[in-house]
Amino acid sequence: MKYLASPTPEEALDALNGAAGSIKKRMITIVGNCKVDYSGRARSFLDYGERLVVVKADGTVMVHGSEKREPLNWQPPGTTVKYVMDHGLAIEAKRTSPPETMRIHFMAIEALSIFQLHDGAEINLIGEEADIVDKLEKDPSIIEEGLRVMRREKVTNSGFIDLYCEDKDGVTVIVEVKRTSISPNAVYQLEAYLVDFRKKNKLAKARGILCAPRISEMAKTLIVEKGLEYKQVDYEFELSDKKQSSLESFD
């Protein structure tokens, strides 16, 4: 770990391009007064102000202000990063697909850190949409008594379907699952699938059910209008025993 307090631009550049700079998998943080120019998918300018700049080993660059989870400016992974002198330290971060350039210029540097992060762990996350589909696939009676899952599909000609089912009367049921509230867009999506499905399979009957813990008023109106159905589905989830959370005891 290398740390420089209030380095001159030259000292900072030496650290970034010199010996410590040759470390392969390194992360860099700079606290300082900088301005940021960005040009690519859009274009932006951010005038001088104090920020935290983070450069990751994979080429990710982030300029963080004092608020919000999102960086003020950034470059995604795969960006080529260069450190140059231009009346002070400047960072040039460029990528090609799509062509995008970000340039950070420092008026002052308060602190510079260069360090490595060794991390063999992978996150274990549960409660994604796929987990809810899993649960419904195992026990479709949660949605409706007598429902049978015929296929769990990823892609069809007319789009993506979560569960392809038949109800107790043998009628085809297309099930769309959302982990949060159902918005009008989800209704449009299911409606479009159903229209295509009926057309393609020359079926007069084919039901569509949206499953989610919540639904907005507008989506509810749309669902009724379009002859679709909504089934409220709550869900709980547990991390596997091995990777047990320690939050039980957390107040």
Partner DNA sequence: GTTTTAAGATCGGGC
Partner DNA sequence: GCCCGATGTTAAAAC
Task: Using CB under 8 A, pick the residue from 10, 80, 99, 127 that binds a second copy.
Answer: 127
Q: Is 69 in the site for DNA (CB under 7 A)?
A: yes
Given candidates 8, 10, 18, 25, which one binds a second copy under the rule CB under 8 A?
Answer: 25
Residue 219 binds which one of DNA, a second copy, none, with CB within 5 to 8 A depending on kind? DNA
What are the φ and ψ backbone dihedral angles of 130, each rounded to 5 degrees?
-60, -35
Binding string, residues 74-113; x marks residues near a second copy by CB under 8 A: x-xx--------------x--------x-x-x----xx-x
Kindly indicate which of the ranges 13-21, 56-64, 142-150, 168-176 contains the residues binding a second copy, using the contact rule CB under 8 A.
56-64
Q: Which is nearest to 211 in space by CA: 237, 179, 188?
A: 179
Told to check if 227 binds a second copy by CB under 8 A, we report no
Considering the complex, state which of residue 76 and residue 227 has its C-beta at the smaller distance from a second copy. Answer: 76
User: CA-to-CA distance for 194 and 76, rounded, in angstroms?
Assistant: 37
- For residue 73, which of 100, 109, 98 has the smallest C-alpha distance? 100
DSSP 233: -
Q: Does 172 bind a second copy (CB under 8 A)?
A: no
Cα separation of 165 and 149, whole Å? 4
Q: Which residues contact 233 (CB under 8 A, 6 or more apart)?
A: 132, 136, 142, 143, 177, 211, 212, 213
Q: Work out whether 49 is an interface residue with DNA (CB under 7 A).
A: no
Which residue's CB is nearer to a second copy, number 69 or number 170? 69
Among 217, 236, 238, 248, the residue binding DNA under the rule CB under 7 A is: 217
Asked if 100 is part of the footprint of DNA (rule: CB under 7 A), the reply reads yes
Name which of DNA, a second copy, none residue 82 binds, using a CB cut-off of 5 to 8 Å depending on partner kind.
none
Selection from DNA, a second copy, none that 55 binds (CB < 5 to 8 A by kind) is none
| Residue that is written with structure tokens 């998918």 in the block | 41
The minimum distance between CB 124 and a second copy, in angstroms, equals 5
How many whole angstroms separate alpha carbon 222 and alpha carbon 109? Answer: 55
Q: Which is nearer to DNA, 80 or 180 (CB)?
A: 180
- The number of residues making up the chain comes to 251
Residue pointed to by tokens 């008594």? 145
Euclidean distance between CA atoms 76 and 153, whole angstroms: 31
The C-alpha atoms of residue 175 and residue 186 are separated, in whole angstroms, by 11
Contact between 179 and DNA by CB under 7 A: the answer reads yes
Tell me how far apart the alpha carbons of residues 216 and 63 are, in angstroms, rounded to a whole number. 36
| 185 near DNA, rule: CB under 7 A | yes
**Amino acid in position 162:** D
Contact residues toward DNA (CB under 7 A) are 38, 40-42, 44, 60, 68-70, 73-77, 97, 100, 102, 125, 127-130, 154-155, 159-160, 178-181, 183-185, 189, 214, 216-219
